[in-house]
Structure 1
């Protein structure tokens, strides 16, 4: 199949072009990608297991977007904060890392909500959804690794009462459906 010159290239096109690269050229391409952005660096560090805290760059991005410096008019971006979690999943996606990042997202969101009064329904909905995802990630871990994460999630649930908008009820509902439902099935 011949693609039109106006058609956007696809992964298939890139893969075909990479077949012409020798080892040195491929290494050079990866080096160029590495130096092109901090996000690429975080991805490669996580994928290759490099550094002492591979989650830190992803946490920094989450914190920057979900808990911005309101005094300096930094914007909130739920999608960019969630993208940091998704980027980690693409890079390596370890269940414990996914649990840590999703719970961290919730902790940062609660910290932001407790430091300023905000009435943004989409922010609350995103927080509730991420709490639900956190429970799913923790549930996928071996039983021996769950307790510290569950303790943090339980503390978050109790912080929901100060937020309003039914956040506490939603978190309780997710908690009881996941944690108690799991105990009943054992």
Structure 2
């Protein structure tokens, strides 16, 4: 099937062209992608298991967008902070990394809320949803790996009383629902 020149290329089109690449050409393409953006570098480092802290670039993106420097006119972007977690999931998506990044998101968001007393219901709703996702990620880990993550989530839950919006009630509800799910699965 021949696509018209105006049709948007698809993965199948890319794959077909890649079949004609030799080893050096493919390596050159990957090198160009690597140098094109820091997101590509983070993806490749995570996928290939390179570097001491493969989560660091993803954490940096979360911090930039969920806990921005308002004095330097940086803006909040929940979607871009969540994209950092989605990017890690695409790169390698290890369960402990997903747990770490989602909990880090919550810790950073609470730090931001506590430092600037922001009154944005959608920001807070996204935080509550991420807390629930964190509990899901942690519950998917082997029991021996959960303790440290659960301690951090419990500390986050206790911070809910300081930010309003009925936060502590929401976090408690998620916490107890996850504990019930865990007891039922044993």
Scaled by the length of structure 2, what TM-score is found?
0.98
Q: In structure 1, the residue corresponding to 2:9 is in which secondary structure?
A: coil
- In the alignment, the residues of structure 1 paired with residue 104 and residue 147 of structure 2 have an alpha-carbon distance, to the nearest angstrom, of 16
Per the alignment, residue 173 of structure 1 pairs with 173
| Deviation by residue 1:119-166 (Cα, 9 ceiling, x = unmatched) | 111101110010000000000000000000000000000000111101
Number of aligned residues: 186
Partner residue, 1:105: 105
Q: Cα distance, 1:181 vs. partner?
A: 2.7
Shift of 1:184: 3.9
The residue number in structure 2 matching 1:57 is 57
Q: Which residue of 2 aligns with 1:127?
A: 127
Aligned CA RMSD, in angstroms, stands at 0.7
Report the counterpart of residue 76 of structure 1 in structure 2: 76
SS at match of 1:93: coil
TM-score of the pair, normalised by structure 1: 0.98
* Unaligned ranges ≥5, structure 1: none
Residue aligning to 1:182: 182
In the aligned structure 2, how far is the partner of 1:113 from the partner of 1:178?
Answer: 24
| Cα drift, residue 185 of structure 1 | 3.6
Match of residue 90 from structure 1: 90
Question: Counterpart in 2 of 1:9?
Answer: 9
Measured in 2, the distance between the counterparts of 1:95 and 1:164 equals 31
Deviation >4 Å, runs of 4+: none
